[in-house]
Structure 1
Amino acid sequence: MTTRKLAVIGNGMAGVRCVEEIDRLSPGAFEITIIGDEPHPNYNRIMLSKVLQGDTSISDITINDFAWYKKRGIRLLLGEKAVRIDAVGKSIYLESGKTVLYDELILATGSSAFVPSISGIRKSGVTAFRNIKDCETMIEASESYRRAAVIGGGLLGLEAARGLLNLGMEVHVVHNASYLMNRQLDAMSADMLKRELMQQGMRFWMEKRTEKIIGRKRAEGLLFNDGTKLVADLIVLAVGISPNIAVAVNSGIATNRAILVDDYMRTNVPHIYAVGECAEHNGTVYGLVAPLYEQGKVLAKVLTNADTVPYKGSIPYSMLKVSGVDVFSAGDIQGDVEVALQQYNGLQGTYKKVTVRNGKIAGAVLYGDSSEGMKLLDCLKKKTDAKILLEKPEGASGGADEAVVAMADHQTVCSCNGVSKGAIACAIQEDNLQTVEQIRDKTKASGSCGGCKQLVGAVLASVLAGAGGGTKKVVPICGCTELGHEEVKAEIAKREYANAAQARERLGWSKADGCVVCRGAIPYYMGLIQESKKTVSTLLDDERKELSWDTRELKLPYPVQTERSAHYLKPSDVLVRDFGLAAVPAGWEVYVGGHSEHPVKQAQLLAVEADEEQAMQLAAACVQWYRESAYYGERPWKWLERIGLQPLREKLLDRGEQEDLLSRWQAAERAEMVWSGT
Structure 2
Amino acid sequence: MKKTKLVVVGNGMAGVRCVEEILKLDPERFHITIIGSEPRPNYNRILLSKVLQGNSSMDEIVLNDWSWYKENGIELLAGESVVRIRKEEKIVETASGIKAGYDVLILATGSSPFMPPIDGIRKPGVIAFRNMDDCRVMMDYAVKYRKAAVIGGGLLGLEAARGLLHLGMETEVIHNAPYLMNRQLDLMSAELLRKELEGQGMRFRLNANTESIVGRSRAKGLRFTSGAVLDADLIIVAVGISPNIELARGCGIATNRAIIVDDYMRTSAPDIYAVGECAEHRGIAYGLVAPLYEQGKVLARALCRPDEENAPYTGSIPSAKLKVSGVEMFSVGDIEAETALQSFDGIKGTYKKVTMRGGRICGAILYGDTAESGALLQMVKRGAPASELASAASTSGGGREQDEIIAAMPDRETVCACNAVTKSMILKAVAEEGLETADQVRDRTKASSSCGGCRATVEAIVGFAKRSGAEGMAEKSVPMCGCTESAHHEVKEAIANSDRGWRSPEEAVQALGWRNLSGCDTCMPAIRYYMSLKIVDAGRSLTGEIGRRSFIGLKINVAEDDGAGSPFGYDALCLGGELRRMGETLTFPYPVRAAAASGIHQAVGVLVHDIGLNGSPAGWEIYAAGHSENPVKQGQLLGLVETSGQALELAGACLQLYRERADFLEPMWKWVEREGIVEIREALFDPEARAALFASFASAGGDAFRLEREGVRL
Q: Structures share a fold, TM > 0.5?
A: yes
Q: Whole-Å Cα distance in 2 between the matches of residues 403 and 385 of structure 1?
A: 22
> Helix, strand or coil: the match of 2:172?
strand
- 2:157 is aligned with 1:157: yes
- 2:126 is aligned with 1:104: no
Give 1:346 deviation, angstroms. Answer: 1.2
Give 1:463 deviation, angstroms. Answer: 1.9
Match of 2:302 in 1: 302
Is the Cα contact below 8 Å between 1:320 and 1:449 reproduced in 2?
no
- 2:223 is aligned with 1:223: yes
Q: Which amino acid aligns with 2:272?
A: I
Query: Following superposition of structure 1 onto structure 2, how do residues 504-543 of structure 1 map, counting pairs within 5 Å?
Result: none
Is the Cα contact below 8 Å between 1:52 and 1:136 reproduced in 2?
no
Give 1:133 deviation, angstroms. Answer: 0.5
Q: Whole-Å Cα distance in 2 between the matches of residues 50 and 215 of structure 1?
A: 31
Q: Which amino acid aligns with 2:20?
A: E
Q: Which amino acid aligns with 1:178?
A: P
- 2:97 is aligned with 1:86: no
Give 1:394 deviation, angstroms. Answer: 5.8
Is the Cα contact below 8 Å between 1:339 and 1:354 reproduced in 2?
yes
Question: How much is the aligned-residue C-alpha RMSD, in angstroms?
Answer: 1.5
Closer, same or farther in 2 for the Cα pair 1:94/1:135, shift >3 Å?
A: same
Q: Which amino acid aligns with 2:171?
A: V
TM normalised by structure 1 equals 0.68
Q: Whole-Å Cα distance in 1 between the matches of residues 296 and 456 of structure 2?
A: 26
Closer, same or farther in 2 for the Cα pair 1:148/1:399, shift >3 Å?
A: farther
Match of 1:3 in 2: 3
Q: List per-residue Cα deviations over 1:54-82 (Å, max 9, x = no partner).
A: 55321110011111111101000000000
> Helix, strand or coil: the match of 1:312?
coil
Aligned length: 470
Query: Following superposition of structure 1 onto structure 2, how do residues 279-298 of structure 1 map, counting pairs within 5 Å?
Result: 279-298=279-298
Is the Cα contact below 8 Å between 1:360 and 1:384 reproduced in 2?
yes
Give 1:401 deviation, angstroms. Answer: 3.5
Q: Whole-Å Cα distance in 1 between the matches of residues 274 and 213 of structure 2?
A: 36
Closer, same or farther in 2 for the Cα pair 1:395/1:236, shift >3 Å?
A: closer
Q: Whole-Å Cα distance in 2 between the matches of residues 394 and 407 of structure 1?
A: 9
Is the Cα contact below 8 Å between 2:431 and 2:473 reproduced in 1?
no
Match of 1:265 in 2: 265
Q: Which amino acid aligns with 1:157?
A: G
Give 1:249 deviation, angstroms. Answer: 1.2
Which residue of 306, 310, 332 maps to 1:330? 332
Give 1:317 deviation, angstroms. Answer: 0.5
Q: Which amino acid aligns with 1:461?
A: G
Query: Following superposition of structure 1 onto structure 2, how do residues 517-596 of structure 1 map, counting pairs within 5 Å?
Result: none
Q: Whole-Å Cα distance in 2 between the matches of residues 117 and 227 of structure 1?
A: 18
Closer, same or farther in 2 for the Cα pair 1:287/1:94, shift >3 Å?
A: same
The worse-fitting range, judged by mean Cα deviation, of 50-59 and 348-357 is: 50-59
Q: Segments of 4+ in structure 1 off by > 4 A?
A: none
Match of 2:19 in 1: 19
Closer, same or farther in 2 for the Cα pair 1:265/1:395, shift >3 Å?
A: closer
Is the Cα contact below 8 Å between 1:425 and 1:460 reproduced in 2?
yes
Match of 1:168 in 2: 168
Match of 2:453 in 1: 451
Closer, same or farther in 2 for the Cα pair 1:464/1:253, shift >3 Å?
A: same
Q: Which amino acid aligns with 1:76?
A: L
Give 1:355 deviation, angstroms. Answer: 0.5
Q: List per-residue Cα deviations over 1:409-456 (Å, max 9, x = no partner).
A: 222111100111111111111110000000000000111011111111
Give 1:29 deviation, angstroms. Answer: 1.1
Give 1:49 deviation, angstroms. Answer: 1.2
Is the Cα contact below 8 Å between 2:395 and 2:408 reproduced in 1?
no
Is the Cα contact below 8 Å between 2:177 and 2:207 reproduced in 1?
yes
Q: Whole-Å Cα distance in 1 between the matches of residues 234 and 356 of structure 2?
A: 43
Match of 1:318 in 2: 320
Query: Following superposition of structure 1 onto structure 2, how do residues 244-643 of structure 1 map, counting pairs within 5 Å?
Result: 244-305=244-305, 307-334=309-336, 337-391=337-391, 392-393=393-394, 396=397, 397-398=399-400, 401-466=403-468, 469-470=471-472
The worse-fitting range, judged by mean Cα deviation, of 125-134 and 319-328 is: 319-328
Is the Cα contact below 8 Å between 1:319 and 1:373 reproduced in 2?
no
Give 1:53 deviation, angstroms. Answer: 3.2
Is the Cα contact below 8 Å between 2:319 and 2:332 reproduced in 1?
yes
Q: Whole-Å Cα distance in 2 between the matches of residues 468 and 433 of structure 1?
A: 14
Q: Whole-Å Cα distance in 1 between the matches of residues 69 and 384 of structure 2?
A: 43
Match of 1:146 in 2: 146
Match of 1:49 in 2: 49
Is the Cα contact below 8 Å between 1:371 and 1:399 reproduced in 2?
no
Is the Cα contact below 8 Å between 1:327 and 1:366 reproduced in 2?
yes
Match of 1:127 in 2: 127
Q: Whole-Å Cα distance in 1 between the matches of residues 167 and 48 of structure 2?
A: 14
Q: Whole-Å Cα distance in 1 between the matches of residues 243 and 103 of structure 2?
A: 25
Give 1:467 deviation, angstroms. Answer: 6.8
Q: Which amino acid aligns with 1:310?
A: P
Q: Whole-Å Cα distance in 2 between the matches of residues 124 and 415 of structure 1?
A: 38
Q: Whole-Å Cα distance in 1 between the matches of residues 44 and 264 of structure 2?
A: 25
> Helix, strand or coil: the match of 1:386?
coil
Is the Cα contact below 8 Å between 1:83 and 1:250 reproduced in 2?
no
Q: Whole-Å Cα distance in 1 between the matches of residues 220 and 88 of structure 2?
A: 51
TM normalised by structure 2 equals 0.64
Closer, same or farther in 2 for the Cα pair 1:21/1:399, shift >3 Å?
A: farther
Is the Cα contact below 8 Å between 2:396 and 2:408 reproduced in 1?
no
The worse-fitting range, judged by mean Cα deviation, of 117-126 and 402-411 is: 402-411
Structure index of larger Rg: 2
Segments of 5+ residues of structure 1 without an aligned counterpart are 473-678
- 2:217 is aligned with 1:212: no
Match of 1:115 in 2: 115
Is the Cα contact below 8 Å between 1:41 and 1:66 reproduced in 2?
yes
Q: Whole-Å Cα distance in 2 between the matches of residues 339 and 468 of structure 1?
A: 41
Q: Whole-Å Cα distance in 2 between the matches of residues 395 and 68 of structure 1?
A: 43
Q: Which amino acid aligns with 1:273?
A: Y
Match of 1:59 in 2: 59
Give 1:308 deviation, angstroms. Answer: 2.2
Percent sequence identity is 59
Q: Which amino acid aligns with 1:347?
A: I
